[in-house]
Amino acid sequence: MDKRLIETKKIGICNFDYFCVDSTEKEITINGTTFPHGQTAWEVSMLGKEYITELLLLGGCLRQSFLYADMCDFQIGNYIEVKERILSVIDFIKDTPPFSHFDTQCSRDVVLDVFSDEHLKMLEQESRENPNFKHNRWYQILVAFVNVYVYLCTDTANFATLILNFTQNAVEQNCRDEKSLANLALIFFSSREVADLLDKSNPTECAEGVTMRPRATIVPAIPFDENMPDAVEIKKRIYYGRLMDFFVADFFDALAGGHYLWQCKYCGRYFLMTTGHRQLY
């Protein structure tokens, strides 16, 4: 067991079900790669309607497969289908930012372990002996993994709705400096209309929508590389269990640091503004 008071690993865990982000005033590091605050918001804005629609369909198929499996008597075949649905989500997103920044192979391996033949056979045996087998630790872990990937799909869609509407308001009101962006954020995120919009964009009744109160664990970290002993920097290492929590936290860190999205009036594309409040690209 690691008894050090701070974390010194250069790269922390970065699976979709549980991941950490190293954060400084202007940047974040995910899985060893460093980006400015706000880049993930920009990457979500660039996914496009067709991509997000397909992602939602995959998430919906996963949810339906699990609901059917959970409703029936325990049958291994039903849960193998659930596993394949999760793997389909990972295969769809693995090469596309912001998802490609994560350790997609390790995420896949963990899913294969949770839904392994050994664990499914164990649950099948227990289901025959115990009518309350769904309280079993492994069944609860299995359910948690289903929720992770259903949420991944819905969170991405909800967050895209959030930031695109915010950016549209920023462009219309020409909000380019930290003070005007803060005033806009106050009005925008206090709006009942925005809350209703997000509720309508949430495609599954059982899923929570966007929260402005990210759940995270923050620990001090000094990532250390033996090959670069002079490159030492103190960072906050922030652990998340849900993508939406990270999206929201990084979006507000970006605004606080003067980073924001902007839409070009000529080509319609979105850009991340990080230097100069009048910069166009």
Over residues 230-265, the pLDDT tens digits come to: 767 788 899 999 999 999 999 999 999 889 999 988
pLDDT at 221 over 90: no
- What average pLDDT does the segment 203-221 reach? 69
Distance CA 31, CA 100 (A): 10
- Rounded percentage of the chain residues whose pLDDT exceeds 90: 64
pLDDT at 185 (0 to 100) = 92
Most confident of 20-24, 89-93, 147-151: 89-93
Structure tokens at 105: 């192979």
pTM score, whole prediction? 0.88
Residue whose token pair is 């990457």: 43
pLDDT above 50 for 278: no
d(CA 167, CA 9): 36
Split at pLDDT 50, 70, 90, the class of 277 is: very low
276, pLDDT greater than 80:
no
Beta pairing, strands 27-30 & 33-36: antiparallel
The DSSP call for residue 138 is H
Tokens of 70: 């959970």
- The whole-number average pLDDT for the span 193-198 is 76
Which 3 state secondary structure label does DSSP give 209?
coil
Compute the radius of gyration of the chain from its Cα atoms: 21
pLDDT score at 234: 82
Using an 8 Å Cβ cutoff, are 38 and 259 in contact? yes
Span of 8-17, 32-41, 78-87, 189-198 with lowest mean pLDDT:
189-198
The neighbour count for residue 204, using CB atoms within 10 Å, is: 16
Cα distance between residue 164 and residue 179, in whole Å: 20
Please say whether the beta carbons of 129 and 45 come within 8 A: no
Is the pLDDT at 207 greater than 90? The verdict is: no
Distances (CA, A) of 14 to 69, 128, 161, 272: 29, 36, 25, 24
Hey, which of 8-17, 98-107, 248-257 has the most confident mean pLDDT?
98-107
**pLDDT score for 193:** 83
pLDDT one-digit tens code per residue, 48-63: 999 999 999 999 999 9
Average pLDDT, the chain: 88
pLDDT above 50 for 201: yes
Q: Is the pLDDT of residue 9 over 80?
A: yes
